[in-house]
Structure 1
Amino acid sequence: MTQPIVVVGAAVLDGGRLLAARRSAPPELAGRWELPGGKVERGETPEQALVRELREELGVTAEPVARVPGEWPLKPGYVLYVWTARLVAGTPEPLQDHDELRWLTREQVWDVDWLDQDVAAVEAVRAAWQPLPHHGAS
Structure 2
Amino acid sequence: MQRVTNCILINNKKVLVIKKPRRGWYAIPGGKMEQGESIKESATREFYEETALTLINPNLAGVFTFSVFENKAITEEWMMFTFVSRYFNGELTKHCKEGELEWVSLDRVNELPMAEGDHHIFNHVLASSETLYGSFAYTKDYELLDLRLDPATP
Which category describes the TM-score, using the shorter chain as reference length?
A: 0.7 to 0.9
More strand by share: 2
Paired residues, number: 121
Q: TM-score, normalised by structure 2?
A: 0.68
Q: List gaps (5 residues or longer) in structure 1.
A: 130-138
TM normalised by structure 1 equals: 0.75
What residue ranges of structure 2 are gaps of 5+ in the alignment? 69-75, 130-154
CA distance in 1, matches of 2:115, 2:20: 9
Aligned to 2:51: 58
- The one of 3, 24, 33 equivalent to 1:6 is 3
Higher RCO (Cα < 8 Å, 6 or more apart): 1
Q: Percent identity?
A: 20
Return the alpha-carbon distance in structure 1 between the equivalents of residues 67 and 29 of structure 2: 14
Kept in 1: contact 2:7–2:85 (CA 8 A): yes
Counterpart position of 2:30: 37
Q: State the AA in 1 paired with 2:119.
A: V
Structure with bigger gyration radius: 2
Aligned to 1:115: 115
Q: Distance in 1 between matches of 2:8 and 2:119?
A: 12
Q: How does 1:78-93 map to 2 (within 5 A)?
A: 78-93=78-93
**More displaced 10-residue stretch of structure 1: 109-118 or 35-44:** 109-118
How big is the shift at 1:117? 4.1
Q: Deviations over 1:56-82 (max 9, x none)?
A: 111111134221144241542212221
